[in-house]
Structure 1
C-alpha cells in the first residue's frame, strides 16, 4: 500500500517528529453549545463558541501536533494554531434523531474540495456505528463512507474516520450490559472500515473497553464487565482487526481516566498511533469560560489545560509511529 503525495503530506502535517499523531480535538458544536449555555444560564451565540475554540486552539496547539476543528465555528480559530496541522470535520453535528439508526449527514455548503481550500491537511468524519445494527441501515452508512473516501482520493487528502459505537437495541451506553458488548462493537467497526473499499487512511477509534467496568483500575466503580487481564486482551484483539493506522479518541472521559486508559493500551502492547483528544484536556474549563469569561478561561488553559495535554503527551511515549503500518522504518523512507 503506497501513499500518494497529498496523503503523505497531510499525514506528516498532523504528526509530531516521531510520526505519532498527538492531536487536540475542538470540533464539538451542539454538545459544547449546550454545556456552555447550561453553565452560563443563558444563550451561547456563535461568537462565544468561536471565541472558546480560538482560546483552546491558541493555547493547546503549542503542545499538539495538530488540531481538529469544524468549518462552521472554527475557521477563525484555525488561524491561531501555532503551525500545528489542521483537520477539518465534514459532518453535521449530532445525527438524525427523527429516523432510526443514527444516520449521519454532511455539512450543506462544504465539500472535500472546499475543506482543502480552507486549509485542511486532513478531512475527518464522525459516524455512529454498530456492527449489530440492521443491515439496511449499515448499508446506507457503508455507501456514505465509500463516497467520502472516493472524494478524498479525488482531492488527494487523508481521510480520518471516527466511529462511535451505540446499542442498536436502544440500551444505555453507560450500562454494564453495553460495556460487555463494547469490545465486539469496536473490533467489528475496525474490521469493517479497515477494508480497502472505504479508502480510510486513519481510523479514529474508541478504546474497546469501558474503563469504569475494568476491575483493578483506578477508574473502576465496583461493577465488573472485565478483569484487567481480559481488558488487556480486548485491546490486543481490536488491534488485530485492521492493518490501518489507528488513534484513540478520549470520548469525553476525564484527564486522569484517559491517561489510565492509554497506560492500559501501552501495557497490552497495542501498537496504537496516537490520539485525537478533546474534552479530556479542556472540558473542565467550560464552567470557567461560562461563569468567569475569556481571560479567566485562557489563564486556566495555560495552567491546568497545558498540564492536561502534557499528561497526554507523556502517555503517548508508548505510541508507535503510523508509518510502521506502511512497512517503513522512518518518515523519510516514505518520501
Structure 2
C-alpha cells in the first residue's frame, strides 16, 4: 500500500529527482574522512577548512550538471550549495563519524543546526546517517530508534522529506571487509530496511547499502576469488531486501570504485528490485582526491570535467534500471506534474 505524502514532502522529493521520478543524486557530505584522505595524499598532518570547502565547491559545480541533486553538509558545504546549477539540495544533519569511545557507534546531531535551520539554509530534504545493525544489543538499538523517531517528528513538523542512510557494522568487532561479515550482510541490510520502513520513524526515503559485498559474488567482474554467494544467491538477496519495505529506497556507493558500483546497479536491475535511484559520492569523485592534493584545484577541475563526468554518466546509464518513487506514494497524477 503506497504511503500518504504531504505537499511539502512531495515538493522536496520532486526537487531532488529527475523527470522520471528517479533520484540521481551526487553525495559530497564527507567531512572527517575526506579531510584525512586529502591530508594523507598531500603528505601533511592536517589541512585548512578552506581546502575542504574548495574541494566541495568544485565537485558540486561540475557534477550537478549531470545529477538531479547534491548532498552536502552545513559545516563546509554551504558555499558549494550556491554552485549547484539549480539542482536539488539535501543537507546532512548528523555529526561526522561516531563516538569511538562508547560501544554501539552512537550518533549525534550537529550542535548549531536544526531541521528548521537546515530548511532555511536551502535544504529540499534532510539526510541522516546512522550506523545500525539489527544484531546490536537491544538497549543500544533502543537509543537509536528513539533518536530516529525524534528526527522523523522534526521533519514532519517542518514538512520536509527525511532521508535515512544506515550503514551496517559487525557487532563482534570483525573486519567489515572480510568474508564472515559478507555472509551476514544480507540479514543486516534486510533487517535494517524492515525496521526503518515502519511508519513511526517518519522516514520518506531509505538510503541503503546493497545487501552483498560484490567481491565475494562469484560470476561477477568484481569477484576476487573467495565466494560468499553465487550470482543467483546475490540476486535473491537483492530481492529479499527490496521486499522488506514498501518505502522508496536508493542505493549508496559505500566507497567502492566506479566499475564495481556500476556492476552492482546492473545486478540490482537484473534482480528486478524497484530501487528508486542512488546517492553516489566516492564512486564518482574519490580518484580525484590525489589530483587535488598533489596538483591543485585547476588540475582537479579538469579531472572532474573529464573522468568525473564519465563516472557520473556511467552511473546515470545504470540508473535506467531504476524505478520512479511515484509508484510507492499515494498521490494523484496532477500533483506530480
- State the TM-score, normalizing by the size of structure 1: 0.98
Q: Secondary structure at the match of 2:4?
A: coil
Q: CA deviation at 1:328?
A: 5.7
* Correspondence 1:195 to 2:229: no
* Correspondence 1:286 to 2:289: yes
Q: 2:109 aligns with which of 96, 106, 116?
A: 106
2:321 is aligned to: 318
1:272 is aligned to: 275
Number of residues of Structure 1 aligned to a counterpart in Structure 2: 334
Q: CA deviation at 1:13?
A: 0.1
1:65 is aligned to: 68
Contact 1:33 1:44 in 2 (8 A): yes
Q: Secondary structure at the match of 1:177?
A: helix
2:15 is aligned to: 13
Structure 1 residue ranges, 4+ long, deviating more than 3 angstroms after superposition = 327-330, 332-335
Question: How far, CA to CA, are the matches of 2:11 and 2:173 in structure 1?
Answer: 41
After superposition, residues 215-254 of structure 1 pair within 5 angstroms as 215-254=218-257
Q: CA deviation at 1:169?
A: 1.2
Give CA-to-partner distance per residue, 1:128-180, whole Å, 9 cap, x none.
00000000000000000000000000000000000000001111100100000
* Structure 1: gaps (5+ residues): none
1:78 is aligned to: 81
* Structure 2: gaps (5+ residues): none
Give CA-to-partner distance per residue, 1:66-99, whole Å, 9 cap, x none.
0000000000000000001000000000001110
Q: CA deviation at 1:333?
A: 4.9
* Correspondence 1:36 to 2:32: no
2:126 is aligned to: 123
Q: CA deviation at 1:327?
A: 5.1
* Correspondence 1:23 to 2:16: no
Question: How far, CA to CA, are the matches of 1:322 and 1:207 in structure 2?
Answer: 18
Q: Secondary structure at the match of 2:33?
A: helix
Q: CA deviation at 1:214?
A: 0.2
After superposition, residues 136-147 of structure 1 pair within 5 angstroms as 136-147=139-150
Contact 1:323 1:329 in 2 (8 A): no
Q: CA deviation at 1:326?
A: 1.6
Q: CA deviation at 1:199?
A: 0.2
Q: Secondary structure at the match of 1:127?
A: strand
Q: CA deviation at 1:45?
A: 1.1
1:205 is aligned to: 208
Q: 1:256 aligns with which of 243, 259, 267?
A: 259
Q: CA deviation at 1:329?
A: 8.2
Q: Secondary structure at the match of 1:235?
A: helix
2:184 is aligned to: 181
Contact 2:5 2:331 in 1 (8 A): no
* Correspondence 1:97 to 2:100: yes
Q: Secondary structure at the match of 2:74?
A: coil
- State the TM-score, normalizing by the size of structure 2: 0.98
Q: Secondary structure at the match of 1:83?
A: coil
Give CA-to-partner distance per residue, 1:269-310, whole Å, 9 cap, x none.
011000000000000000000000000000000000000000
Q: Aligned-pair RMSD on alpha carbons?
A: 0.9
Q: CA deviation at 1:25?
A: 0.0
Q: CA deviation at 1:3?
A: 1.1
